[in-house]
Amino acid sequence: MLRTGLVAGAVFAFLFALNHFMPVHRDDYDYSMVWKTGVHLASFSDVCVSGVQHYLLHGGRTVTVFCLQLFLWLGKTAFDIANALMFLALVVLATMHARRALDFWKHPRLLAAAALLLWLSLPHFGEVAVWKSGSTVYLWSAVPAFLFLLPYNLALRALSEGRRVRRMWAVLPMFLLGILAGWSIENLAVTVVVTAFGASLYVRRRYGTSPAWMITGALGALTGLAGLVAAPGNYVRYDVQGAGKGILVHIGNQFAGQGEMLLYLLPVLLLILTAWRLYRQLSAGQPTERHGSLLLYAGKKYVVGFSTDGISIGTVTLVALISLLTLSYFTGGWVAGGIRDAIIGSVLTPLGFTKPKTIHLFTNLMNGFEEMAIYWLAILLFYVRIKQKLGLTAAAVRAAAECVPARDVLRRHPAARYAAFLMALGICNNLVMLAAPTFPGRATFSSAAMFVTAALALLSDEPIRSALLPRAGSVLCAGACLLFAYTGTAALFITQEMHAADAARIAQIEETRARGETVVRFPRIERTNRALRHVYYEDWDNSVTKEGAMEYFGLTDVVVDGK
């Protein structure tokens, strides 16, 4: 319990610090006013009136909008605390779903792994889990959805073990919780409804029972989904955003969104791949250590041996590249600058892509090249070392694959089947976005969380723990500490810089308005959307930020220098 409390406390403290430094900006200003009236939120009734206005004019995400505007009215500190608690709740729920049990407090290491993997793998973390308008849409939708689906998950496990799941007291609570889970965000709401009804049907057919709370929960989720999609504001917004976009555009959005999610999920996918190979290795024959070497027994003979202390050419190459990029990163970014100039000169210019906005966007992309490359290469370095520790050479992997077909792994290991289901659910959750006019990377939030839960389910499985931790546990721990130190420290420092710069701007606005003037001019904030997107900030020349702030502060123009 003590170690679990320390992990939970550390997670909350870190997220609270990030939330404290995150300024109010962009859509936050629009939602700090009664929707489309320009009147500042001044009472609880204003929050309710604004929610109705938003439902009629903009969209059906009434539950998340209500939460956002309520806490913007209550004050930033209240929101900072609530948002940190929401992330901690998601960490706990992912751990419980992974184990299909409630006793998360008995597993502090798995809880820490959940927090780290969610931190590393949720796309656009700063935008979806720290920024107020983003986190209430994505993080605050995922928590009630994961909470709502937990009783179904636990019930399926209980029934498979011959235990009863009739709980009449849960009939009304599950209906109400279902409404919250269904009235969330479009793709997740559809997934929740289908999963709830699917689980209820499965239980009826497989076990010949229909617990009332399962049915009412599914009906509640359907009710919430109906409220979400029936909003008149949805059709107003779709007419604007979806005009002229055919099915090919929607399919293209899928490739872009799914691909971006998979890039963020690199550490999760490598963990899942490692677990899959370990399952095959264990099914083919138990690894045996002899004189510092690991031998894989398969097909009545030892098929591969290697030294656990060897350093490969690939490892040396990765270390060299990481060192080069790190040196460049701290001395002006000359590697990224050279690649940027080469691409502009030899690719973009000959193709005629030389508009200032195109060059600006490409330059902004390359500004984050080195930090992303260092991150990916560091993950690959630790993955290579883990493979060496576990005996997962190419020959060993091939030998195990020949001995053990994929279907045998799924048949022998329930955790593997469960993880495969969660990953398939995540992909299907994204496919729902085919109906949407756009599919930004942040919309893959809940799917990424499902992939993380799949990885946690494998890590919590006894065969994987026994094979992985004794031989590669130290490498995993070192990698986790390094990746968090790298991303977490950068996110804190950069967000603190933004906090100070934004506070100076607010002070300047107050001085300007005190003089009776309505035009302000700011220097540009250079370091935004950095630390692998764990930092999110749109400067005030962004149209949404600019127009919302102008209306909120009573300005007629905001000028940002240096564009």
pLDDT at 107: 96
Say which residues have a Cβ less than 8 Å from residue 275's Cβ, sequence separation at least 6.
416, 419, 455, 458, 459, 461, 464, 468
pTM: 0.91
E-only strand ranges, 424-532 = 519-522
Strands 519-522 and 287-290: unpaired
Q: Model confidence over 311-366: pLDDT tens digits?
A: 678 788 888 999 998 888 888 889 989 999 999 999 989 988 888 878 877 887 78
Of residues 471 and 165, which shows the higher confidence score? 471
Q: How far apart are CA 5 and CA 8, in angstroms?
A: 5
Q: How far apart are CA 410 and CA 344, in angstroms?
A: 48
- Label residue 554 by pLDDT band (50, 70, 90): very high
- Label residue 450 by pLDDT band (50, 70, 90): very high
Report the 10 Å Cβ neighbour count for 192.
30
Q: How far apart are CA 84 and CA 281, in angstroms?
A: 40
pLDDT at 301: 43
Q: How far apart are CA 319 and CA 317, in angstroms?
A: 5
Q: Model confidence over 242-285: pLDDT tens digits?
A: 555 666 777 777 788 888 899 899 999 999 999 999 999 888 87
pLDDT at 292: 41
Strands 557-560 and 519-522: parallel
Residue 287 has pLDDT above 60, yes or no: no
What is the 3 state secondary structure string of 146-178? HHHHHHHHHHHHHHHCCCCCCCHHHHHHHHHHH
559 beta partners: 521
